[in-house]
Amino acid sequence: MSLLTNVMDHSLDDGYAEAAERKRAAGDAGLPKTLRAKLGLAAGLVLAALVVTVGAAQARVAAPVVAKEREELVDRIDRESEAADKLEDSVDELRADVSARQREALKHSGSAGSDLVGILSGAAAVHGPGVKLVVNDAKDTGAGGDGDPRENPGFSDTGRVRDRDMQRVVNGLWESGAEAVSINGQRLTALSAIRAAGDAILVDNKPLVPPYTVLAVGDGQRLSTRFQNSADGLYLNALQESYGVRTAISAEDDLRLPAAPSVIVRTAQPSTEKSEKGTS
């Protein structure tokens, strides 16, 4: 206790105190004594004040120019964003028109299975019983376990749902008997692609935001049971237990899935070269 008391009472070292006392006794106040030294100090202060003044003046003169350039840049960004929005709206309108024409063509094709083809291809809207599956990122994005259900040793987990996870979920639903599937209201077809751009998941090049709501039309309770018992359902359960990914699945009596925005029609024709080689 005596040591602590001494430290508190004598916070300044005795040597520093003695040096300060000798300096005061010698009359040295730290200011220049000679006329030359005083003039040098004054010149230094004047120079420093001049530099600060010139800098402030230049900043004041340049401020309107910088503000104008910033305003022009903001206006340009707004114009380009508006133009991009118009183009996107135009693309959506054209896609809707193409889809409507495709559905109309399927109705008047005269084929007995045209309705089934429209449903399976995604060209027609569907409704019926099925499964609603909601997949969301973990609350704690740093959560993780010792095992890695993604089976990728180089994977850096952040608790986020990845494109490969949604790929397995969708494929598992198809394999379990789903007749039609959509993610966040976007209908999937045989040509749909689920990819990633950074942390964002893209479905047919359209970014989605969590939570990811997957709707699958089919035999509701049976579809739910088969999916949860499948390898992909167990994979999703492993993500939930090891990484904190949040999931919820339920059987629904009536789900409504929109038609795909565009369906690319592809036809195959026999190759002339191969036919000639076969006959020769």
Residue of 277 and 120 predicted with greater confidence:
120
pLDDT at 115 over 50: yes
Residue 80 has pLDDT above 50, yes or no: yes
Report the pLDDT value the prediction gives residue 172, as an integer from 0 to 100.
Answer: 95
**The two structure tokens encoding residue 266:** 């592809």
Specify the higher pLDDT residue, 150 or 178.
178
Q: Residue 136 pairs with which residues in a beta bridge?
A: 246
Strand partners, 255: 128
- Fold of the CATH domain 125-257: Alpha-Beta Plaits (3.30.70)
Strands (E), the chain: 126-136, 180-183, 186-187, 194-197, 200-203, 206-208, 212-217, 246-257
Closest CA to 173 of 212, 132, 216: 216
Nearest residue to 176 via CA among 137, 213, 230: 230
pLDDT score at 52: 86
Neighbours of 205 (CB within 10 A): 8
Burial class (CB in 10 A: 0-12, 13-18, 19+), 252: middle
Residue 142's Cβ-count burial label (10 Å; 0-12, 13-18, 19+) is exposed
Q: Is the pLDDT of residue 57 over 90?
A: no
**Looking up tokens 């006392």, which residue turns up?**
21
Residue 131's pLDDT is: 95
Identify the band that residue 62 occupies on the pLDDT scale cut at 50, 70 and 90.
confident
Phi, psi for 180 (deg, rounded to 5): -155, 145
More confident residue, 229 or 198: 229
Task: Return the domain boundaries, the chain.
Answer: 35-108, 125-257
Tell me if 271 sits within 8 A of 204, measured CB to CB: no
The pLDDT of residue 19 is above 90: no
What distance lies between CA 16 and its chain's CA centroid? 60
Cα distance between residue 96 and residue 115, in whole Å: 19
Q: Which range, of 15-19, 81-85, 118-122, 170-174, averages the lowest pLDDT? A: 118-122
Residues 176-213 pLDDT 10s: 999 999 999 889 988 888 999 887 899 988 889 899 99
